Amino acid sequence: MRFIVTAGPTREPIDPVRYLSNRSSGKMGYAIAEAALAEGHSVILISGPVSLIPPSGANLVQVTTSDEMDDAVHAHLAACDVLVMCAAVADYKPATFSTRKIKKQKNALTLELIPTRDILASLTRPSPEFLVVGFAAETDDLEANAQKKLRDKKCDIVVANDVSGNESGMESDENEVTIFFRNGEKEKISRAPKKIIARALVKILSNACEKRLTKKT
Ligand code: CTP
């Protein structure tokens, strides 16, 4: 199977020295890419800025902003079977980029932010068999929010994790996820190192992908 995995944060520039970003480390996405490669799949890894060594064998595409990630996903979509949208894409970006460094002022500074493009929600599937996998990082109402993302972003699968504590989710080496499927089924993977979660996840995704591809023939 041919995977596209997105990973890490995006950075939305404010001026030449500042940007908006988030705490994503990229560890979950990189672990998924590594696990997919270990299972013999091909992987295009579209990565925001992270300090991780990419798994050998991955076709690495490095991006910085949400717009660059959007372009990279669209450029590679048609050549793949499954998109795993693990990146923590910024939801907002500055309305304008100041080419000069913004100088400190005595008064409060207001930044105008505009929504970034939602890569998942705006996606056109290259084929009906193509598998779209979204992530949901939540601090509250995990199931309700994940189900909403599954519907609103027209995903086949949403992998949800609770990011309210320090022991799971962003920056941590461990995670605990619940996988929600379009048909209403759900499956929990208990707390474990991200590499172990990734292996279980890749098995579930390749089974789902296989089912679709064999249905077609
Ligand atoms: N996502 C995306 N494009 C964006 C923002 C998010 O494709 N501009 C994707 C993420 O990669 C993830 C899914 O949408 O697979 C859910 O991301 P998340 O940050 O949990 O949710 P949001 O849609 O940003 O909503 P909220 O922040 O309100 O929870």
Query: Does residue 136's CB lie within 6 angstroms of at least one atom of ligand 1?
Result: yes
> Which ligand 1 atom sits closest to the C-alpha of 115?
8
Count the helix, strand and coil residues of the chain and give each as a percent rounded to the nearest 5. 25, 30, 45
Active site residue 22: yes
pTM of the model as a whole = 0.95
- Residue 100: what pLDDT? 97
If one compares 164 and 16, the residue with the highest pLDDT of the two is 16
- Residue 18: what pLDDT? 98
**Can you give the three-state secondary structure of 130-166, one letter per residue?**
CEEEEEEEECCCHHHHHHHHHHHCCCCEEEEEECCCC
Instruction: State mean pLDDT over 34-61.
Output: 98
C-alpha 136 to ligand 1 mean position (Å): 7
The pLDDT tens digits of the residues spanning 61-73 come to: 999 999 999 999 9
Q: Determine contact, residues 201/35, Cβ cutoff 8 Å.
A: yes
Q: Which residue has the tokens 């500074």?
A: 109
- Residue 173: what pLDDT? 86
Instruction: State mean pLDDT over 197-212.
Output: 92
Give yes or no for residue 216 having a pLDDT over 70. no
Give yes or no for residue 166 having a pLDDT over 70. no
State how far Cα 144 lies from the chain centre.
19
Report the percentage of the chain scoring pLDDT > 70.
97
- Residue 198: what pLDDT? 97
Query: Does residue 67's CB lie within 6 angstroms of at least one atom of ligand 1?
Result: no
